[in-house]
Amino acid sequence: MKIGPYKIKFEDRLKFTALDATRIALFSVILTLIAFSAFFWKEGINPIKGYSEMFTYAFATASGIELTIRRMAFMLFVTLAFIIPMRGGIWNVGAPGQLYIGMLAAVGIGIWGKGLPPGILIPLMFLAAIIGGGILGAFVGYLKEKMNVNEIVVALMLNLIMYYLVKYLIEGPWMDRSGRPESTQLPHAARLPMISDSLIPYTIFLAIALGIILYFFLSKTSFGYQIRLMGTNPNAARYSGVSRVKIGVVTMMMGGALAAIAGVHQVAGIAGVYRIHRYFAKFPGTWAYYGIVFGLIAVLNPMAAIVVCFLFTGMQVGTMALQGRLGMGYGADLALIGILMIFLVAGQFFYRRKIVFSKEITTADGEI
Amino acid sequence: MDWIFVVAAIQASMIFLFAAIGELIDQRSGILNVGLEGLMLVGALGSFVVADATGNPWLGFIAGIAAGGIFGLLHGFLSITLKADQVVSGMGIWIFALGLTTYIGNPLSGPLNDAGKMNGIAGGLTPMFFIGLLIVFAVWFILFKTRLGLEIRSIGEDPYVAEASGLNVEKIRYLCVIAGGALGGLSGAYLILVYNPIWSPNPTMGRGWIALAIVFFSMGKPKILILGAFLLGFLWHFALSSTEIIPWLPALSYHFYRMIPFAATIIILMIISSKRISRKLGAARPAALGKPYIHNE
Amino acid sequence: MNKKGISTWWIISMFAAVAIIGMVGSVQATDLAHSPRHIVLAVEHFSPVSGASWCGSFHAACQWLDKKYPWLDYLYQENVGPDSTIAVAKDFIENKHANIVISNAEFMALPIEAIYKKYPNVYFMGNIASDTETRGQNWIRYFGRQYQSQFLAGIVAGAITETNAIGLVVSFPAVQNVRKVNAFTLGVQAVNPKAKIYLGSYVGAWYDPPTEKEVSEKLISNFKVDVLSNPGSDSSAPVTVAKEKGIWFIGKDADLTKLGWADEDTVATSYIWNWQVIIDRVLSDYMKGETHPRNLYFIGMEEPLYTPDGSIPVVDIANNGRYGVDSISPKARKKMSKDEIELIRSRREEMLNGQWDPFEYYELKDGKTGKVMSPAGEMPSDVELLSKMDYYIPGVVPPK
């Protein structure tokens, strides 16, 4: 292809650095924002005003930043739940199911342990969720590595099974007595403490700490190295004696546990709700899938995921608020994430390739 | 169990059937499209908008098919030309379609214009039921009785060998994703114009994932796929009136019946994972499924 | 997609992006002029307003007020979930200067408990489903006695059924649904003691068009119902099925013919909400500057809103913009006797005057055990009606 004096062609990348990834992600985001401007035009809103309202609400108002941070903790857990197994070469699209099992464990333990002090009850809830999510994840990992069953299909099926299980419980045995289709409310002792006066539970620190710890786990420990080796070069891993099954099961177990923690955060960390609300169990899973999007933007780096989750949760929160602020139609936030996703997928092309502009004869002088 | 039940169950089955047979074409050519739900969503919205405005269900069907085809093409562009991971691309298609249809469709929420709905001709069955069956038959015929079908399947098995024998892998794969997308769109259109002529956010409510389950469950064989689609359609409605149809069944909540297809899919996958059993059953599992085809220059 | 190591670039560039965005944002931040006689009414809807009868009727009421009062501004946000209730309410108050914030579902009302004290100058309104206790000085809980209009609609249904089978689409076995079903059944039995009320299966959601459709079809095929209503679900799916199968329908929450969901050949009448009745009372309290407004509304037809065009009761039966007896579709009216029509007219009149209530007049018996739960002539308490009534009266056939 030729533009003016320049010749454009695609070349294979020899190496792909985090900086390249950042550029591609930023480029996708910019394209998304440009494309999304069409939605503003359609509604008769100046895009600059639209975006400023969006970012102002999400990052610069007291109520918005509170929601952004609380939701970010949730997103960070599900993003990490996607990242860890993916680094070992396994797709964890089972976050919704693992999330549901975390919710069930939290509420089950919370109600069963009525009367226990918070110091015992809350750790028990986390423990139960981690075990539940871990088992669900490990099941998928085992099927994948031991029996070579497609992990994506199995996880999707498990999500749907768990969805119906949650629905059955909150409309049946666990239903609130006065008759709303939600689980019984958690006792006070089972509610997560909030940071001083705000409505942000301490799980946000847990989420950030996990992001940092998992980063060092992957980059500095020998087991982390084995995981990465399995993800990048399974043959080399096999020759060096790393067990596929072990990596598969353990990473999926970790992923499952992380998503389950998001479930605890969701039921025990939202003021005034403190139950499995029917909105948390919508078909088929909704937000937990965003972990995939955010994980890809962060190019599977747990530390980068912290920043990515903060920014993009903010964008989502801000877009949601556009209706109340500018009269934007419902669903704009979903549309924004959708467009972002498409550009990111397209951006993957440049993970392997780069564009080379060259003048006739002269060599490469620029790249994207 | 009476005729109304049977018709309702058949109509539910048709939704699964169209989407699943479309996905089968994709998968036979080695392309996995987990964004089936998204194709159905855009097909549903396209058909709703057009049928509501024109009052003509046939135009609605055409629009639904076209919308599905365009999104199929998008999946093809991302996964064939740009060689993105097929799962990421499929997820992207779904999340994109969910957002887009929710936003565009929201002001239209509510029942379809009366004239836009397709009415039954034979005992509640619509003309589209019969045309749809013909389409499914045609797909089966093309895939298994024609040269093109053979080419598609050989590309799914090993694109490198196929390329070496002179086939244009990319072209045929594009053909398949567009056809698969169009059938996904048809499924969404059938949902909106025949099954439940109402627009609501996310009207498919996970039916795309069920169709995906059917494809895996069928081991790539259209005959099992058709059987599976009808079985699931009946199970779908049976879940609501199990004790009225078979009085001695325990009064289980319908949720449990709706779990069955998903659990069954996992079990089937575990069974055919054994090479020996899978060969015995003649299960087709395109070896190249899900892998981008990068040809060497 | 392998990445080695963390790149400081990553962090730096992302934070730079935030900083730039934040700066642009704060410069552009808008501030509405806030004059004391300008009232902002902000509503959090739990579902979309179009295509759903509950939020749709609430939206219509707010628009009605918006048109009536030039000094009123109506803001809203659709599909607010339980976890964003507080954030959205705070945004309305802090950035849009909302004076009255309404959450139109109980699950969105309860979280308000955490914040209402912080904003003493704002009125919060929260819908009641079963809980009447959680409320405060400036936190108003409200609901209406919709069962009164459901009783009237039940009379119509009982009169026009030929198969003596009436189907109701219900989301869950929740108190609020039980109460509606019982009131409807009392109406049916007032004119047709032989009729049975079938629930089929529970839908499992307020708003789930495909399942609502499936349950409606099941009611028709398994129980041969020829009158259908959906006291416990929100979408247009049931009325669409009724239209398709050529049976009668009794609309819920909104005037379905006026909404254009079906015509009078299908919709015999609808039991509707006029939410403006309650909101208007709260508005007038606010305009008076009440610091202790009335904070509990559970009102029936006896407390209407008086307007130049006549009084509007909070609940009523309506069809195509006509109210009361006139609302019954002409085709349905032909199937009813003079006595039946007279009964609707007189009961409605008595309820408008506050002299009569179906739950007071009739004996309420548990259909399963046969135990008398509330004798005739005794009015069950509000708590009983809102959060205790968990039995269907005889004549109702609940799901197995």
Task: Give the CA distances from residue C202 to residues B128, B205, B247, C177, in Å, rounded to whole numbers and listed in that order.
Answer: 31, 17, 18, 11
Interchain contact, C51 vs B200, CB within 8 Å: yes
pLDDT value, residue A306:
95
- Sequence length of chain A is 368
Which residue among A49, A71, A304 places its CB closest to the CB of C28? A49
Find the closest chain A residue to C175 by CA distance.
A179
Residue C260 sits in the same domain as residue C361: yes
Is residue C241 in a domain? yes
Chain B residues touching A290 at Cβ < 8 A: 95
For position C267, which CATH number holds? 3.40.50.2300
Residue C123 sits in the same domain as residue C96: yes
Interchain contact, A334 vs B269, CB within 8 Å: no
Residue C127 sits in the same domain as residue C172: no
Which residue among B97, B205, B270 places its CB closest to the CB of A283? B205
Find the closest chain C residue to A46 by CA distance.
C28
Coil vs helix vs strand at C151 = helix
pLDDT digits (tens, 9 = 90+) for C310-363: 889 999 999 998 999 999 999 999 999 999 999 999 999 999 999 999 999 999
Angle at A367 (CA atoms; ends B90, A26), nearest 5 degrees: 50
Interchain contact, A329 vs B270, CB within 8 Å: no
Domain boundaries for CATH 1.10.3470 within chain A: 61-319
Question: Which chains contact A through at least 3 pairs of Cβ atoms less than 8 Å apart?
Answer: B, C
Residue C160 sits in the same domain as residue C301: no
Phi-psi domain of B154 (left: phi exceeds 0; alpha: psi -120 through 50; beta: other): alpha
pLDDT value, residue C167:
95
Find the closest chain B residue to C244 by CA distance.
B119
pLDDT value, residue B21:
93
Q: Residue A6: what are its φ and ψ, rounded to 5°?
A: -95, 145
Which residue among C48, C259, C400 places its CB closest to the CB of B106? C48
Coil vs helix vs strand at C166 = strand
Chain B residues touching A352 at Cβ < 8 A: 83
Chain A residues touching B102 at Cβ < 8 A: 330-331, 334-335
Residue A26 near chain C (CB below 8 Å): yes
pLDDT digits (tens, 9 = 90+) for C274-291: 999 999 999 999 988 888
Coil vs helix vs strand at C140 = strand
pLDDT digits (tens, 9 = 90+) for C22-77: 555 444 443 333 445 689 999 999 887 877 778 889 999 999 999 999 899 999 98
pLDDT value, residue C3:
43
pLDDT value, residue B210:
86
Top mean-pLDDT range of A193-207, C49-63, C148-162:
C148-162
Task: Return the minimum-mean-pLDDT range out of A78-92, A132-146, B279-293, C312-326.
Answer: B279-293
Residue C53 sits in the same domain as residue C176: no
Domain over B3-281 is classified CATH 1.10.3470: yes
- CA atoms of C235 and C254, how far apart (whole Å): 11
DSSP C395: T
Residue C196 sits in the same domain as residue C68: no
Boundary of a domain, candidates C262, C284, C307: C307
Check whether A262 has a pLDDT greater than 60. Answer: yes
Is residue C12 in a domain? no
- Closest CA–CA distance from residue C240 to any residue of chain A (Å): 23
- What's the number of domains chain C is made of? 2
User: In chain A, positions 140-199, which contact chain C (CB-CB < 8 Å)?
Assistant: 167, 171, 175, 178-182, 199
Q: Mind spelling out the 3-state secondary structure of C253-312?
A: ECCHHHHCCCCCCCEEEEEEECCHHHHHHHHHHHHHCCCCCCCEEEECCCCCEEECCEEE
Q: Mind spelling out the 3-state secondary structure of chain A?
A: CEECCEEEEEEECCCCCHHHHHHHHHHHHHHHHHHHHHHHHHCCCCHHHHHHHHHHHHHHCHHHHHHHHHHHHHHHHHHHHHHHHHHCCCCCCCHHHHHHHHHHHHHHHHHHCCCCCHHHHHHHHHHHHHHHHHHHHHHHHHHHHHHCCCHHHHHHHHHHHHHHHHHHHHHCCCECCCCCCCECCCCHHHCCCECCCCCCECHHHHHHHHHHHHHHHHHHCHHHHHHHHHHHCHHHHHHCCCCHHHHHHHHHHHHHHHHHHHHHHHHHCCCCCCCCCHHHCCCCCHHHHHHHHHHHHCCCCHHHHHHHHHHHHHHHHHHHCHHHHHCCCCCHHHHHHHHHHHHHHHHCHHHHEEEEEEECCCCCCCEC
Residue C290 sits in the same domain as residue C246: no
pLDDT value, residue B66:
97
Question: Which chains contact B through at least 3 pairs of Cβ atoms less than 8 Å apart?
Answer: A, C
Mutation to test the B interface, candidates A157, A165, A299, A352, most B Cβ within 10 Å: A157
Residue C229 sits in the same domain as residue C350: yes
pLDDT value, residue C5:
41
- CA atoms of A242 and A227, how far apart (whole Å): 9
Residue C279 sits in the same domain as residue C343: no
**Mean per-residue pLDDT of chain C:** 86
Domain over A61-319 is classified CATH 1.10.3470: yes
Question: Which chains contact C through at least 3 pairs of Cβ atoms less than 8 Å apart?
Answer: A, B
DSSP letter string, chain B:
--HHHHHHHHHHHHHHHHHHHHHHHHHHTT---TTHHHHHHHHHHHHHHHHHHH--HHHHHHHHHHHHHHHHHHHHIIIIIS---HHHHHHHHHHHHHHHHHHHHGGG-EEPPGGGSPPPSBTTB-HHHHHHHHHHHHHHHHHHHSHHHHHHHHHHH-HHHHHHTT--HHHHHHHHHHHHHHHHHHHHHHIIIII--EE-SSTTTTHHHHHHHHHHHTTT-HHHHHHHHHHHHHHHHHTTSHHHHSTTS----HHHHHHHHHHHHHHHHHHHTSHHHHHHHT----TTTT-------
pLDDT value, residue B189:
95
More confidently predicted of A357 and A333: A333
More confidently predicted of B123 and A224: A224
> Do A339 and B103 contact (CB within 8 A), yes or no?
no
Interchain contact, A52 vs C84, CB within 8 Å: no
Residue C115 sits in the same domain as residue C175: no
Chain A residues touching B263 at Cβ < 8 A: 157, 161
Residue C343 sits in the same domain as residue C237: yes
List of chain B residues with pLDDT < 50? 297
Chain A residues touching C21 at Cβ < 8 A: 51, 55, 59
How many other CB atoms are found less than 10 A from the CB of residue A268? Answer: 26
Residue C81 sits in the same domain as residue C181: no
pLDDT value, residue C168:
95
Interchain contact, B91 vs A341, CB within 8 Å: yes
Check whether A367 has a pLDDT greater than 70. Answer: no
More confidently predicted of A259 and B239: A259
Domain that holds residue C282: 39-144+275-307
